[in-house]
């Protein structure tokens, strides 16, 4: 993609028309209370817009309209190919509006325009297109039965789903959820993070323009207590998919247990290890992967490589190469296409990350913060895996380094965590790489690289990193469907009854 200049992006930003109201039943509506909250550009501290501060009454209305749209079949009972056609038109309109959405995303989240233009928007559209194309290619099953029976196992859309989004990848996480949910035929009530509401509202409007029927795709902005908890407890929501912190995710299990035992899928935090053994090839390339893994998106990434577990024989050389590559990860204006690290999403989160930096006793690289919004790419030595910086999810550009003497020790330390989202191992020994990949307790393990797989591979975690399902791939469709067995008796009346 050809990027614009900083001045050109600023010109687009100055002329954006920002959505400010909830999107329910195919139209924008103010909150029933009339209340609003201010959404802020984290890079400048300037107010962007006053957004509808919704509450229980708005959630009830959105759920009622979603239920109405689901039950009358305007979307849920469309032929799969018809849903596919609508979603393909949706992708075309998103492509047409991609630059506007990229600038909006950067302004609202602090993400760099470079990432928004080259990663977030293309991947968002690719995700939706992939699920659209999968709609009419996922077959149901016929189970083995007697000669007098046919047993069909069919998928049906689960119903009305609540989708609760994080603030670190507002567009992409929206796509990860609405792609399979819409493909399955569900009706949606989306709660974007309060910090990053704008693009979800605009995407819902574009979906309606593409032909997604009214009531099928609703967006209800507001706070966690006012909207998120209400969705989690709502008696007429059939399933909730949540991405965010482990602390908040666990609450949705309680909300479900205390209401209608709705299905719950959680994608939560991580403290992801990257193991570098003494035989790792091309340490310069290893360093590039580690820097990408630790500092991409300002470290505001649940799959970030936040623990480097490195063999003592290569530690010094590897850290020197990391220091070299970290210089390219400059902080600055997110609308400058030369900037690689933008602002942290909010002042509160900036303060949290800085509180961790204050505990660092052996800073190797970086460690400084700027203007109440920016944190430099930082590498710190920690004495062992019990250190706070090695155990707690910082969600900032901080890489904690732990020295080890051998393979077994590295695996043990890597698995010594409450989380299990992603892990990496760098080694030239193929047998060791496969042993490590099998031994690491994580949902995604990469060998000699940093990554999360792609749209065709399931994404989610072990232990307190995940619960109930996976995003991406055909497996994501499972969480938005129910399985039904249809048992057909073919026996003639003269035949003996067979149960």
pTM of the model: 0.96
DSSP-assigned beta bridge partners for residue 201: none
pLDDT, mean of residues 4-33: 98
Predicted confidence (pLDDT) per residue in 275-330, tens digit: 999 999 999 999 999 999 999 999 999 999 999 999 999 999 999 999 999 999 99
C-alpha distances in Å from residue 233, one per residue of 164, 263, 264, 432: 13, 12, 11, 47
Q: What is the pLDDT of residue 495?
A: 58
Q: How many CB atoms lie within 10 A of CB 82?
A: 14
Mean pLDDT of 361-373: 97
Length of the chain: 499
Lowest mean pLDDT among 153-162, 246-255, 290-299, 488-497: 488-497
The span from the CA of 181 to the CA of 449, in Å, is 31
Position with higher pLDDT, 280 vs 1: 280
pLDDT confidence of 493, banded at 50, 70, 90? confident
| pLDDT tens column, 403-457 | 999 999 999 999 999 999 999 999 999 999 999 999 999 999 999 999 999 999 9
Please state, in angstroms and rounded to a whole number, the distance separating the CA atoms of residues 290 and 304.
Answer: 9
Mean pLDDT computed over 64-83: 98
Confidence of residue 109 (pLDDT cuts 50, 70, 90): very high
Of 447, 398, 444, 452, the closest CA to residue 421 belongs to 444
pLDDT for residue 301:
97
Helix-strand-coil split of the chain, %, nearest 5: 40, 20, 40
Sheet holding 149-157, edge to edge: 141-143, 149-157, 481-489
Q: How far apart are the first and last CA of the chain?
A: 62
Average pLDDT, the chain: 97
Rg (CA), the chain: 24
pLDDT digits (tens, 9 = 90+) for 454-474: 999 999 999 999 999 999 999
* Mean pLDDT value of segment 27-42: 98
Contact between 76 and 156 under an 8 Å Cβ cutoff? The reply is no
262-275 pLDDT, tens digit each: 999 999 999 999 99
Q: Lowest mean pLDDT of 101-115, 205-219, 480-494, name the range.
A: 480-494
Distance separating alpha carbons of residues 114 and 56, to the nearest angstrom: 38
> Is the pLDDT at 1 greater than 90, yes or no?
no
pLDDT of residue 332 exceeding 80, the answer is: yes
The tokens describing 39, both together, are 């959404």
Catalogue the active-site residues: 267, 302
Taking each helix axis as running N to C, give the angle between helix 98-109 and helix 170-184, from 0 to 180 degrees, rounded to the nearest 10. 130
Q: What pLDDT band is residue 492 in, cutting at 50, 70 and 90?
A: confident
- pLDDT band for position 494 (cuts 50, 70, 90): low
* pLDDT for res 214: 98
Two tokens, residue 297? 């998106």
Confidence class for position 497, pLDDT limits 50, 70, 90: low
Packing angle of the helix pair 283-295, 315-326 (nearest 10 deg): 60
Q: For residue 51, what are the contacts with CB-CB under 8 A and spacing of at least 6?
A: 20, 21, 36, 37, 38, 39, 197, 198, 221
How far is the C-alpha of 269 from the C-alpha of 249, rounded, in Å?
9
User: Tell me, what's the pLDDT at 463?
Assistant: 98
DSSP assignment string, 188-241: EEEE--TTS-HHHHHHHHHHHHHTPPTTTEEE----IIIIIHHHHH-TT--EEE
Confidence of residue 496 (pLDDT cuts 50, 70, 90): low
Q: How many CB atoms lie within 10 A of CB 32?
A: 16
Check residue 331 and report its DSSP letter. B
Q: Rounded to the nearest 10 degrees, how much is the dihedral formed by the CA atoms of 238, 241, 245, 247?
A: 20
């Amino acid at each position: 993609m050809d990027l614009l200049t900083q001045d050109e992006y600023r010109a687009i930003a100055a002329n954006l028309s920002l959505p400010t109201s909830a999107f329910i039943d195919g139209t924008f509506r103010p909150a029933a209370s009339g209340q609003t909250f201010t959404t802020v550009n984290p890079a400048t501290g300037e107010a962007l817009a006053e957004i509808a501060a919704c509450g229980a009454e708005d959630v009830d209305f959105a759920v009622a309209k979603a239920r109405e749209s689901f039950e009358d079949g305007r979307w849920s009972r469309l032929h799969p190919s018809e849903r596919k056609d609508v979603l393909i038109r949706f992708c075309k309109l998103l492509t047409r509006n991609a630059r506007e959405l990229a600038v909006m995303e950067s302004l609202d989240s602090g993400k760099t325009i470079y990432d928004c233009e080259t990663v977030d928007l293309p991947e968002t559209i690719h995700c939706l297109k992939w699920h659209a194309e999968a709609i009419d290619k996922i077959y149901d099953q016929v189970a083995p039965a007697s000669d007098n029976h046919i047993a069909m196992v069919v998928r049906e859309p689960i119903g009305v789903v609540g989708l609760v989004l994080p603030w670190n990848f507002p567009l992409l996480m929206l796509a990860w959820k609405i792609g399979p949910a819409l493909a399955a035929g569900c009706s949606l009530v989306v709660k974007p993070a309060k910090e990053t509401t704008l693009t979800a509202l605009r995407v819902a409007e574009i979906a309606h323009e593409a032909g997604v029927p009214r009531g099928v795709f609703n967006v209800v902005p507001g706070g966690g207590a006012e909207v998120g908890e209400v969705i989690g407890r709502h008696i007429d929501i059939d399933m909730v998919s949540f991405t965010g912190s482990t602390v908040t995710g666990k609450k949705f299990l309680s909300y479900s247990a205390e209401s209608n035992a709705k299905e719950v899928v959680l994608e939560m935090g991580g403290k992801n290890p990257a193991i570098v053994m003494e035989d790792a090839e091309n340490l310069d390339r290893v360093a590039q992967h580690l820097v990408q893994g630790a500092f991409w998106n300002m470290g505001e990434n649940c799959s970030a490589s936040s623990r480097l577990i490195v063999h003592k024989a290569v530690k010094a050389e590897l850290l020197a190469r990391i220091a070299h590559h970290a210089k390219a990860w400059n902080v600055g204006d997110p609308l400058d296409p030369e900037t690689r690290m933008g602002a942290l999403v909010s002042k509160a989160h900036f303060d949290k990350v800085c509180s961790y930096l204050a505990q660092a006793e052996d800073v190797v690289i970086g460690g400084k913060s700027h203007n109440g919004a920016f944190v430099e790419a930082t590498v710190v030595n920690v004495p062992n895996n019990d250190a706070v910086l090695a155990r707690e999810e910082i969600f900032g550009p901080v890489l904690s380094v732990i020295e080890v003497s051998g393979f077994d020790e590295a695996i043990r330390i890597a698995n010594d965590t409450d989380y299990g989202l992603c892990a990496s191992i760098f080694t030239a020994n193929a047998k060791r790489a496969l042993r490590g990949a099998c031994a690491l307790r994580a949902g995604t393990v990469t060998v000699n690289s940093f990554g999360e797989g792609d749209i065709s591979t399931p994404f989610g975690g072990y232990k307190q990193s995940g619960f109930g399902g996976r995003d991406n791939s055909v497996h994501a469709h499972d969480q938005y469907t129910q399985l039904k067995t249809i048992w057909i008796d073919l026996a003639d009346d003269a035949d003996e009854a067979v149960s």
